[in-house]
Amino acid sequence: MKFIFLIISISVFSFPLFAQNTVDQVLTEVEKNNTTLVALRKSVEAEKIGNKTGIYLQNPEIEFNYLWGSPSAIGNRTDFSISQTFDFPTAYGFKNQISDLKNEQTELEYQKQLMDIRLKTSLICCDLIYANALQTELNKRVEYARSIAKSYQVKFEKGETNILEYNKAQLNLLNISKELESNGIERNALLAELAGLNGGQAVDFTGSVFQIAELPADFEQWYVLAEQKNPTFSWLKKEIEISQKQAGLNKAMSLPKLQTGYMSEKVVGQQFQGVTVGLSIPLWENKNKVKYAEANSQALESIAADNKIQFYNHLKALHTKTIALQKNVYEYRSSLLSYDSSELSKKVLDQGEISLINYIMEFSLYYESVNKLLELERDMNKTMAELNQYM
């Protein structure tokens, strides 16, 4: 019994370094094989090309006219012209800057999706570590319950115990066996979900120990780094810049457009040729566009400020929750080691001082405590995964 408890203690309370490396390997595979990310990467490349359209000069215009004279004695007339329209020069600078900012945004959108998928993968890995650890524990419990059931079967056959005690031993084995089956079903479902994130490729994830990560002591200092690495904030910052550039572009587009070109005209015995210059005065076309861009910039700044407040409070709550969970884990682990009476329970059972049902209840309480510790460790690592996604 002491040996069994030693194995349980090692599996529950040890935290070797390879556990986190295993999760990192899964994250690397998912990042490479995830079909959503593959499709999004192609979409990003296409959108970058799209953002670079419509920022250059307008197409040149070429016109040719051949006119028959009437009466025919006056001859025919031939006209030819080529012209190019120009926006106000600063407009092209704003268009190019806006396209660059939009391309940076598409990368940030990809990074946000990548971060979301990595977090989802990490959370599934936390559940799998818990399921794997519980599977190991339940396998040991089944073996131990089977040995008890076999022992009571021998006693029953020898007439050393009654049918009630025999049935209790068999029911104890049945309950633990079904608990093992249920956990196996849940584990397989998690592996299937992980395979879905990995582009349909199965992942051999057998990690069964949690890595205890260091929680940042100074939350405020850590939050500054987390805020800088949040792609949503960076995206909003770019959006504000785009809105400001758009206001400048709209002002430039409200200035006159210039048209210049070459024109020739030929009639019988005469030819005229030279340059043409035109001016387009936008009186109504861009009305209120500048006001809209400026108002949109102010709205985006308010949205960004609100997002920062919500983000800060969310991470602060996670940080507080993680500290509390760490405290619970350490206290629970220490208490579980201190209050273990498995050796004593086995001794008094062998001496006949307690009934089998009382012995099963004693062990059920211990098993429940081990399960509770695993749940606390899982919950703590999940909150840590949410915190660490910005590191």
- Do the Cβ atoms of 260 and 83 come closer than 8 Å? yes
Q: Is residue 81 part of a domain?
A: no
Q: Is residue 173 part of a domain?
A: yes
Q: Which tokens go with 210? A: 């949690």
The domain total for the chain is 1
Q: Is residue 34 part of a domain?
A: yes
Q: Which tokens go with 24? A: 């990192």
Rounded to the nearest 10 degrees, how much is the dihedral formed by the CA atoms of 296, 298, 302, 303?
A: 20
Q: Is residue 70 part of a domain?
A: no
Q: Is residue 252 part of a domain?
A: yes
The b-or-e profile of 252-272 (16+ CB within 10 A means b, else e) is: bbbbebebebeeeebeeeeee
Q: Which domain holds residue 160?
A: 2-62+89-258+300-388
Q: Is residue 283 part of a domain?
A: no
The Cα 24–Cα 136 span in angstroms is 22
Cis bond leading into 89, ω under 30°?
no
At which residue do the structure tokens 């009186």 appear?
283
Q: Is residue 266 part of a domain?
A: no
Calculate helix-pair angle for 89-158, 18-33, nearest 10 degrees. 130
Residue 12's pLDDT is 38
CATH number at residue 129: 1.20.1600.10
Residue 13's pLDDT is 37
Question: What single-letter amino acid sits at 309?
Answer: I
Over the chain (391 residues), the average pLDDT of each successive run of 10 is 36 35 84 92 90 83 85 81 84 87 91 93 94 93 86 83 85 92 95 93 88 76 85 87 84 81 84 83 70 82 88 88 86 74 55 64 79 91 86 69
H helices of 267-390, in order, are 289-338, 342-350, 356-388
Q: What is the pLDDT of residues 361-371, one digit of tens each?
A: 767 778 888 89
The continuous run of DSSP H or E covering 272 comes out as: strand 270-280
Residue 10's pLDDT is 33
